[in-house]
Chains A and B, each alone.
Chain A
């Protein structure tokens, strides 16, 4: 199990449009066998670009809120 957090991908909402794959600045996501996968999860910086770009709300980053 990876000790870094990656965004959650809801396969039921995902229509495999590939937008998140295109916009990810680190190339973490990939299309494989008609599915979006985290091909290089260790490269994910949790920037939230995939979540913001998904038109179907299929990607979600969760955050813990606290004082610095």
Chain B
């Protein structure tokens, strides 16, 4: 296998001998677009690392509303948390957006690698801490932010992340699932932003025009 381990955040700074050991437990998986990879509540059998493509991590309410928890891109990992649980169940659904290339390591093998290499455990802990902070931010926005504030924060985050291989294209439905609302509300709010001169629609681009006002809105100062 010819795998670019340096592209994966957790493995980026590990020494070569460790990478060789990890490679021995790794499988490559090519997944077509819009394909489910994991279902919440099913037994966790593996951890996943994204070599190419993008993956949505979602939860579905009983009413059928889907909440996008995270849209992950190249270098990110998912399904790490249940590895450490006594009853290892997948915490969320995962689905590809476009075609994706994944590196897969079985749960037991991953635990063995962590036992053998404390440096890998440290790298994993640092990565999980970063993701936890991101989840705390999402929980705060879902619980406390009105849609205008939440949408402004989302637009700034996306625009600032251009070039970092994050998900580039979003439909209004995607945004609604990310913000925990419905498409109509997102559409109306975007149009209002446009009327207020905060953004501009230009074919398939949403261009942000006024950082100061958008940031003020995102911070809840307006």
Contacts and interface: CB of A to CB of B under 8 A. Distances in A.
B207 A51 contact: no
Nearest to B157: A65
Given A52-B187, A57-B173, A67-B159, A62 B204 contact: yes
A42 B94 CA distance: 35
Interface in A15-40: none
B116 interface: no
A60 B171 contact: yes
Nearest to A4: B203
A65 to B, nearest CB: 4
A68 B183 CA distance: 24
Contacts of A68: 200, 207-209
Given A51-B172, A57-B183, A62-B170, A5 B207 contact: no
Contacts of A8: 171
B206 interface: yes
**Consensus secondary structure, chain A interface:** mixed
Contact of A63 (B183, B184, B206): B206
Interface in B137-160: 155, 158-159
Interface string B179-191: 0000110010000
Interface residues of A, number: 18
A4 B158 CA distance: 23
Interface string A42-68: 000110100110000100111111111
A51 B172 CA distance: 9
A46 B162 contact: no
A10 to B, nearest CB: 10
B208 A66 contact: yes
A51 B186 CA distance: 12
B172 A65 contact: no
Interface of A: 4-5, 8, 45-46, 48, 51-52, 57, 60-68
Given A61-B204, A64-B206, A65-B208, 10 more contacts: A5-B203, A60-B172, A63-B169, A64-B168, A65-B155, A65-B158, A65-B159, A65-B162, A66-B208, A68-B207
